[in-house]
Amino acid sequence: MAKLPADARAMPALPAVPAVPFVRLSSYYFFYYAFMGVFMPYFALYLQKCGFLAIEIGLLMSIQQGMRLLAPNLWGWLADSLGRRLLIMRVAAVLSLAGFASIGLSQGFWSMAAAISMMSFFWTAQGPLAEATVFAHLRGRHGYGAVRACGSFGFIVCVLGMGWWLQHADIHWVYEGGIIAALALVGAGLFVPEGPLSHEKVHRAGFWKIVREPNVLTLLGTCMLMTAAHGAFNVFFSVHLVQAGYAKGQVGMLWTLGVLAEILVFLEAPRLMTRFSLKHLQIFALVCALLRFVAAGWWIDWVVVALVTQCMHGITFGVNHVAAISAISRRFAGPHQAQGQALYGSVTAGAGGILGSVASGWVWDAAGPAWAFTCCAGFAALGLLVMGLGYRERATPASGAASPA
């Protein structure tokens, strides 16, 4: 066997890049979104069965978005400051389970609002911390889409399972299903390993300097409006389908179709972001959202319209989310990672969620479902204007330009 040159033998070995704990991260995402597969499609039906009005349902469902506006920033700052991201995530999972369990004791609007508030305050801590943990493990490598796709698969399992079960059981089983999913999430959190933490000192001034960059503000504003565009869909889509004559099992199948489209996008995310710029991906998603929600509002009783608009979920949510979350990860790298993800969640899912939920609930009561969805489509049109006029992007593919610098 030929011997290596002396200088080659003397070269120090490069440090090995730790393998990504894909299975454990994916398991956490699976159960995190499994809970959402119970909560998002069916909890509005649960509230309707409890006797709440549409505007009350809109307000109750907007509480989670309201907590996303404030709570994640506290949790993100605490995690970055203490360097105990995983511990905070696990404690939040336990306390959000306790909050959801208290829903079973609620009798009126205010007691229900208090229970959802407790659940949401701790629930909203977990998403940004999990995103930061995943990107810490990835260390700039591709793989987020595959991990996130496992979360979407968990969503599908619960949407289909709960939809089938509700064909034979009372709607109050939504509560029991949520308890089971939240318990499984607590267990999965025990096996998630802590991601490598940056040893750089956190400078708050540096964080806010990044936030004030024009492209960052434009991206956050656009994503907020995209979330608002999904307001009627997130809160009232199941109610809208049932009123249009669809069975609860068919409701679950349509939700599943949308998430399957979302999974395909997540798996293709590296290729999409290499070929297309961030700005072009966002504009394409916003145009599709405008068309999707107008069609869903007025012609949802046509099965082909229901199928096509649900397939578009892969674009309106999937493309928008994977492009934006990657951009935020790159821009708020290192010691600001958890805070950056928390800010993204607060502004988009928080402020955007409140805007979409409350507006759609008010318009639903005042003018009906079709106009509620059309109102939300208007938020997508406004997002097109913001992104088109406000974002300045380098002439590079999204893999490099995704950082809104």
Name the pLDDT band for 286 (thresholds 50, 70, 90).
Answer: very high
For residue 4, tell me if it sits in a domain.
no
SS3 (DSSP) at 335: helix
Please say if the pLDDT value at position 20 is more than 80: no
For residue 288, tell me if it sits in a domain.
yes
Kindly state the percentage of the chain with pLDDT values over 70: 83
CATH assignment of the domain containing 375 = 1.20.1250.20
All residues at 6 or more sequence positions from 238 whose CB lies less than 8 Å from its CB, including other chains: 41, 42, 44, 45, 251, 255
Name the pLDDT band for 334 (thresholds 50, 70, 90).
Answer: low
Q: How many residues does the chain have?
A: 405
pLDDT of residue 199: 47
For residue 50, tell me if it sits in a domain.
yes
pLDDT digits (tens, 9 = 90+) for 74-102: 776 777 666 677 788 888 899 999 999 99
For residue 128, tell me if it sits in a domain.
yes
For residue 165, tell me if it sits in a domain.
yes
- Would you state the structure tokens that stand for residue 280, as one six-digit string? 């072009």
Terminal-residue alpha carbon distance, the chain: 51
pLDDT of residue 132: 72
For residue 8, tell me if it sits in a domain.
no
Name the pLDDT band for 402 (thresholds 50, 70, 90).
Answer: very low
d(CA 175, CA 264): 30
pLDDT of residue 59: 82
**Residue scoring higher pLDDT (341 or 12):** 341
pLDDT of residue 209: 81
- Report the domain count for the chain: 1
For residue 167, tell me if it sits in a domain.
yes
- Would you state the structure tokens that stand for residue 19, as one six-digit string? 């393998």
145-149, 243-247, 327-331, 380-384 — which one is most confidently predicted on average? 380-384
Domain that holds residue 386: 26-401
**Residue scoring higher pLDDT (201 or 70):** 70
For the residues 135-159, what does the mean pLDDT come to? 74
Name the pLDDT band for 14 (thresholds 50, 70, 90).
Answer: very low
* Count of CB atoms situated within 10 Å of the CB of 164: 14
For residue 12, tell me if it sits in a domain.
no
68-77, 208-217, 296-305 — which one is most confidently predicted on average? 296-305
d(CA 79, CA 96): 17
Q: What is the pTM of this model?
A: 0.69
pLDDT digits (tens, 9 = 90+) for 43-67: 888 888 888 887 788 788 778 777 8
